[in-house]
Structure 1
Amino acid sequence: MAREKSQKKGKIKNKLLLFLLPAVVLTILALVLISGTLSRNSMSKMATAQLESSISNQGDNIESWLSQNLENFSTVKQAIERTKPDEAGLQALLDAYYGFNKNCTDGVYVATATGKMYKAAESQKTVTNPTQETWYQQGMTRVNMDYGAAYQTADGKAVISASGILNDGSGELKVIAADLSLDKISTIVNSGVKMDQAASFLVDTGTYTILAHRDSSRIFGELTETDSDKMMAAIAKKIKDREYTTEFLSGNAVAFSEISGTDWVLVSYISENTILKDVMKLTQILILVGVVAIILIIVLINLTVSKVIAPLGNITKSISDMSAGDFTIEVTNKSNDEIGVMGTKVSEFVVSMRKMLADINQESEKLKEQSDNSDRVSKNMFQASQSQSDAMKNLNQTVDQLAVAVNEIAQNATTLAMVVSDTRENSNQANESMKETVEISKQGRADMEQLNHAMQGIKMANDELVDSINEVGRVSEEITKIVGLIAEISEETNLLSLNASIEAARAGEAGKGFAVVASEIGKLAQNSSSSAESIARLIDSVRDAVASVVEQAQTSARNIEENSGLIQTAVDTFDRIYENIEKSNQLIDLMIQDVEKVNDVSSNVAAISEEQAASADEILETSHQMVEQANNITQSSQDVADNSHELANTSDTLTAYVQQFKI
């Protein structure tokens, strides 16, 4: 009972929920994790792409600004070189171009190798020894004006100078230069970032000097791998290794862009946490949605499972009632799925069992009535058989005495009949043996004739086989001729291919396509020739095999002819044996007729005695059988009575079993 209760508690609903809910939870968690990971990767790629786009735009702006200013300075240089002015003219040109470029506050200026300096009258630039200045030394190395390394002026101002050799026709070595403040570049670097919370700085890779940075304390500071800021140290290492690929360094996405025409590298970076801020929010939303989805799915699964397996409760109760012997239940079915089919089958089983139990109950009642009748009949038979048995015992004793006397009379008459009978039996056996010998000889003669006909058939079939094989040999000869013809055609085709290749070579470029075709035809001809040789070898092998088979077939034909002669001789011998056996059989028949006459005489003598003895024996045997039958009837009636009692007990037991069920 305790076991049934424990089994009852283990519901299918709980098992389904136990399997489904973890799977659903794990699936949703996996989806949230995958979505978060994909979002993180997608956001990182988008941020990296945006950062690269931003830094590219900043680099383009810096390059454009530098190019515009360089073109402006080059225009002044070209004007001076074109006019070839004297000192007064040079001064006038410098004054004229002063203020022409707002980014160059000191205007364009010129220095000579002797240390003389020319500048606009309004320029505030002061130089003690021009030849020792950075811009002068850089300008001495190039004819066209170009930018050099950034440096700080005497008053601590960060500038970059464009300088070059000036050829004004005076024959004196001069350098023309102009200064650009890096403040404008700092403005481009710090304000040109498209991404929120992203920052940039500019580095001169020649000196590892920071030219622009949002932190003014770092401007003109050196970028080193030992920087306390791990990101700056990692950036210094990449710049030193000239690796300008975008990647994440110390929790920041870092992009690099080289400024064309300079040794500068623009570095832009943004914190990974800033990039992934939206991803974290999205992940939190996904987790919240996942939790809500899990709760909803659990509720839906619970309702669905409860609705689906609800019919199982009624079916389970019905099966429990049936196991307790109650077949009065009615199983209802309201669905057409597997559970509905189960309910239908259980209902059909209940109806079938109810009918079966009713039929068994009826049959047990009939069985009980029949067992009572058998018991009464067996008792009557037992009494009658006992009376008959006593009477037959008395009759048996009388007949036994009569049989002894008759047997003594019949023994002497029987002795003579036995001798004659033995002689007759021997004659009959000899006659039967002779008849069997005659039949065997007939059968042997017929078998030999059939064997002769079979050998003739084999000989004809062998002749047809030889003709067929000869035909195969003739056909193989024809194939050999055809293969030879194919070989000749292949040789001619190969020769034609060779001639075509020669003609194509003579045709030059126009014959290349035809040369390829000629080459392919040559290969085809060689393959055809090789195949023809292989076929010829195979046909030679076939011809040899055919010759061998023809020789073996002819040998078989000669053996068949020899065996046919022997078989005909055996047939003649069987004919002579059959004639002799026929004569012997006729003589035995005459002897049997004489023995039959003697047997008839002896049989008549013993017949009367035997009939009397037989009659007595039959009477005695009949008497014995009747006594035995009477005893058997008595025993059988007793057995019937016992079986009747057992049958009645079985009927009662069966009825008790059936009554345990409620129908």
Structure 2
Amino acid sequence: MNKKKFSLFIQVTSILLIISILPPTLLIGLMTTTTTNVMQDSVGAYSQKLMDQLNYTIDYSNTAVNTSIDQILSSSNIINFANSIHAASPSQKTLLGNEMDKKMFSLLGQDQFINGIYFISNNTLQYNINSTKNITPNLRNLKPYFSSSEFYDSTYYESIKNVPFDQNTWLYIDQPSIAGVYVIRPISGVITSYIVFAINGTYYDEVLKVTSIHDEISIVLLDDQRQVVFSDKELPDKALFSNEHQESLDYIRESEAPSGTFIKNNNLISYARCTNGWIAFIDAPLKVLMKDLYSMLSFTLIISILFVVILLIFSIGFVKSISKPIVRICNYMGEVSKGRLDFPEISRIKIPNKEIQLLINGFTNMTDTLKHLINNAKSMTTSVEESTKALTHSAESTLISSQDVETAIQNITIGAQEQNAQVQEATSLITQLSSNINTISSMIHTVYLASEATISMSKKTKGELLTLVDSANHTIDISHNVNDHILDLGNEVNNIRKILDIVTGINDQTSLLSLNAAIEAARAGANGKGFAVVSDEIRKLSYQTQDAIDTIARTLDIIYTKKDITIVGMEKTISSVNSQLPIALTATETFNTIMVKMEEVASDMQKVTKLLETIVKEKDLAMQAIHDISLVIEQAVSITEEVSAESVTQTQAANTISQMSQELATRIQDLKKTYSKFK
């Protein structure tokens, strides 16, 4: 299936269009991305620097506020005032208030951050004073508000009661009538008291307005409850601002960094944490920050598009000047395929460059060469046609002769192959017979060796059996002698028993004599002491002799018992040996018979071996004769096969020549038809 092909004009124009558009597009995209990233980093660094500077200013003002509060507390002796006023009478409270006013007027007149002071104890506003410099409507509403139950039931008062002692805590109240920033300072005394300092917010507003950089970019101060305390511009809804930036504020709360810059929802967010818990926060939309950059990029894009359009127009004109001559030459090539070779109008083609001139010259030379070749081919075609006819006739004659020779040779080859097959079959049978003879010879030799080994083993076993019979007879004689000696040993033991009985009697008499001697020595008194010692030693000797006699008697009993056991064992041994002697004699006679039979088998095996050797020699002679016949037949078959192959080759060559002649004749006719197209 042919694919659709586009013209040269479309192809070259497409390539130039891609080359014209792709690099500028990539360059603009890369430049836009790089420039945007650089600008974002630069603007982010500037924004963070702005937040850090604002944070420094706010922290400085917060430190000044804390310093003013500490100075007021230390100069006014307000702690003693707090411990006295809650128990004072109305007149005393008036006097204490007047004294405190004198101190506070001078302190508030010198301070630019504190607009008013409110002293609360026992859920009652005990004292208040306002600055005369910055009186606002909200400041006038504080006294009635702090005196009302609305305040003491509110969450603000609950927050005040949770403030740690002797610490300044910043509180923003967003109730419209009293909205403002306050610093709470609990005082411990007889009862818990609270001093509320109203902070002048004008200073913070002015700082934020000075920091403001654009109408669409908001800079705000948020308290720890995410409420907007101050802003550089008026916000229609402060709560809505906090809700819209919920995700950013959550990120800031989770972050441990004191300040930072990040991008959220195409907005550049910068923040800084103040020492009083506030957060300085700036929300800058990227479209505002990058407005000038986007304008510059748009202008660059327009210039690039104009450049591409101009380049495209130039490319189309250039492509037309090149493709038009090439298209006309391609059309001429199509007419050449139809038989036309004369093109006088080619000289009117407009030549834009040297390469097109070379192309036209090449086309003209090609048509001239084709004319010359066609004329030469026509003259040679006639002579080739006549030669082809003669060659075809010769090939047909050669083919008939080759087929006759091939048939005769095939008959000879078939006969030789049949003879060769019969010889091969005879050879196979003799080879099988030889293999069987070799197997039988090997088995006979194995049997002969086994019979020789059996004879040798029979002789050896017979000698061992005779030795066994002699050993058994000798064992019986020895056993009888041992039995006699054991009986004699029993008699000797009996004799020893009799001697022991005599010794026992003598020992008893000796013991009796020693006893009598001891009695007589006792009667003799002092004269018989020496005799008493002797009689005592004789008695000890008698005891020792009795112990020895008892030991000998026990030993004789053991010997006598073992003598009886040994006699029983010897009798069993003699009986066992007597029963084995007939078996050994019978086995000796059996081996004598085996030796005689095996010697007869060995003799027969030697005779069979000699007969097989004769058969093998005759078989080898027959195999040699068959081999010679086989060689002769194989040579004959080989010769016939070679002759047959030559005849087949000759036949194939004749067929090939005939086919080529026919094909050549066909080609000559086709060539003549082709010539007829050209004029």
Q: Same fold (TM over 0.5)?
A: no
